[in-house]
Amino acid sequence: MAISRATMSRIYLVLAVLGYLVAVPPMILESIRSGNFLFWAQPLRTISELFANLTSTAFALDAMGVAVVLLVFITREAHRMRMGRVWIYWVLTLLFGVAGTLPLFLAVRERRLGTA
């Protein structure tokens, strides 16, 4: 049984909410605690803490690689499908990461495919 595009869009939206709910609260708590707003206000501190050991370095480099691939995919796919405002996904990825932005883009893409 095939799942409809509307259903997949809703599933992706739920995953987007979950992705943001998992990733954003610790970021906000750390922003409040340290004053390093969304990890952008003190970039040297962010980098030194991100690469504090080999474990965090491995995870950071992997996440950065995924983010680059995601942004290339989103840009190309949005252009191919004539979807506007691709810059929004760039901003969301740079501010909040991949966990919520990827499923959000996929939800919008599914809706677009459903109307094509």
Q: Please state, in angstroms and rounded to a whole number, the distance separating the CA atoms of residues 97 and 3.
A: 28
Confidence of residue 43 (pLDDT cuts 50, 70, 90): very high
- What tokens were used for 18? 């979950």
Average pLDDT over all residues of the chain: 95
What's the number of domains the chain is made of?
1
DSSP state of 53: S
Say what the pLDDT of residue 51 is. 97
Q: Please state, in angstroms and rounded to a whole number, the distance separating the CA atoms of residues 9 and 108.
A: 7
pLDDT tens-digit readout, 60-101: 999 999 999 999 999 999 999 999 999 999 999 999 999 999
- State the residue range of the domain holding 94: 5-115
Between the alpha carbon of residue 90 and those of residues 51, 96, 105, the distances in Å are: 23, 10, 11
